[in-house]
Structure 1
Amino acid sequence: MLRAVVVLTGAALATFALLWHAPGDPALAIAEARYGQNVSKEVLDFIRAEAGFEDGFWTAFWAWLAPLMQGDFGQSSVNGRDVWPDLVTAMSYTFPLALVSLALGLAVSVPLALIATRRPGSWLDRGAVALASVGVAIPAFWLGLLLILLFAVQLGWLPAMGAETTTHSILPAMTLGFGVAASLTRIIRSGILEARGQPFLPAFTRRGVARRDVARDHIAPHAAVPVVTVLGLELAFLLEGLVVVEVIFARPGLGSFLVNAIFARDFPKVQAVVLLAAVIFVLVNLAIDMIYRSLDPRVSGRDA
Structure 2
Amino acid sequence: MRIFAELVLRAAVVLTGVALATFALLWHAPGDPALAIAEARHGTVVSKEVLDLIRAEAGFDTGFWTAFWAWLSPLLIGDFGQSSVTGRHVWPDLVTAMSYTFPLALISLAIGLVVSVPLALVATRKPGSWMDRGAVALASIGVAIPAFWLGLLLILLFAVHLGWLPAMGAQTKAHAVLPALTLALGIAASLTRILRSGILEARTQTFLPAFYRRGVAAGDVARDHIAPHAAIPVVTVLGLELAFLLEGLVVVEVIFARPGLGSFLVNAIYARDFPKVQAVVIIAAVIFVTVNLLIDVIYRSLDPRMDRRDA
**TM-score after normalising by structure 1:** 0.97
Instruction: Name the SS for the 2:229 alignment partner.
Output: helix
Aligned to 1:168: 175
1:153 correspondence with 2:160: yes
1:95 correspondence with 2:96: no
Counterparts of 2:262 and 2:143, CA distance in 1: 21
1:187 correspondence with 2:194: yes
1:297 correspondence with 2:289: no
Q: For 1:260, which of 248, 260, 267 is the aligned residue? A: 267
Aligned-partner residue type, residue 306 of structure 2 = V
Shift of 1:301: 6.4
Deviates more, 1:122-131 or 1:87-96: 122-131
Deviates more, 1:185-194 or 1:34-43: 34-43
Aligned to 1:222: 229
Matches within 5 A, 1:52-201: 52-201=59-208
Shift of 1:198: 0.5
Aligned to 1:249: 256
Instruction: Name the SS for the 2:305 alignment partner.
Output: coil
Deviates more, 1:284-293 or 1:17-26: 17-26
Instruction: Name the SS for the 1:28 alignment partner.
Output: helix
Task: Give structure 2 stretches of 5+ with no counterpart.
Answer: 1-7
Aligned to 1:23: 30
Identity of aligned residues (%): 85
Aligned-partner residue type, residue 266 of structure 2 = V
RMSD: 1.2
Shift of 1:303: 3.7
Counterparts of 2:44 and 2:28, CA distance in 1: 22
Shift of 1:163: 0.6
Task: Name the CA shift for 1:301/1:21 in 2 (closer, same or farther; >3 Å).
Answer: farther
Aligned to 2:54: 47
Aligned to 2:210: 203
Counterparts of 1:105 and 1:79, CA distance in 2: 38
Shift of 1:70: 2.4
Instruction: Name the SS for the 1:54 alignment partner.
Output: coil
Aligned to 2:5: none
Aligned-partner residue type, residue 224 of structure 1 = A
Instruction: Name the SS for the 2:231 alignment partner.
Output: helix
Instruction: Name the SS for the 2:170 alignment partner.
Output: coil
Aligned-partner residue type, residue 204 of structure 1 = F
Counterparts of 1:46 and 1:295, CA distance in 2: 57
Instruction: Give the number of equivalent residue pairs.
Output: 304
Deviates more, 1:103-112 or 1:203-212: 203-212
Instruction: Name the SS for the 2:215 alignment partner.
Output: coil
Instruction: Name the SS for the 1:53 alignment partner.
Output: coil
Matches within 5 A, 1:262-281: 262-281=269-288
Aligned-partner residue type, residue 147 of structure 2 = A
Matches within 5 A, 1:233-244: 233-244=240-251
Shift of 1:302: 5.8
Counterparts of 1:37 and 1:252, CA distance in 2: 26
Aligned-partner residue type, residue 222 of structure 2 = A
Deviates more, 1:119-128 or 1:159-168: 119-128
1:213 correspondence with 2:217: no
Counterparts of 1:72 and 1:18, CA distance in 2: 21
Instruction: Name the SS for the 1:277 alignment partner.
Output: helix
Instruction: Name the SS for the 1:75 alignment partner.
Output: coil
Instruction: Name the SS for the 2:307 alignment partner.
Output: coil
Spell out structure 1 runs of 4+ moving beyond 2 A.
Answer: 301-304
Report Cα offsets for 1:182-238 as digits up to 9, x if no partner. 100001001100110011111111122211111111111111111111111111111
Instruction: Name the SS for the 1:128 alignment partner.
Output: helix
Instruction: Name the SS for the 2:174 alignment partner.
Output: helix
Aligned to 1:13: 20
Task: Name the CA shift for 1:302/1:88 in 2 (closer, same or farther; >3 Å).
Answer: farther
Task: Name the CA shift for 1:301/1:239 in 2 (closer, same or farther; >3 Å).
Answer: farther
Task: Name the CA shift for 1:126/1:30 in 2 (closer, same or farther; >3 Å).
Answer: same
Instruction: Name the SS for the 1:55 alignment partner.
Output: coil
Counterparts of 2:213 and 2:223, CA distance in 1: 17
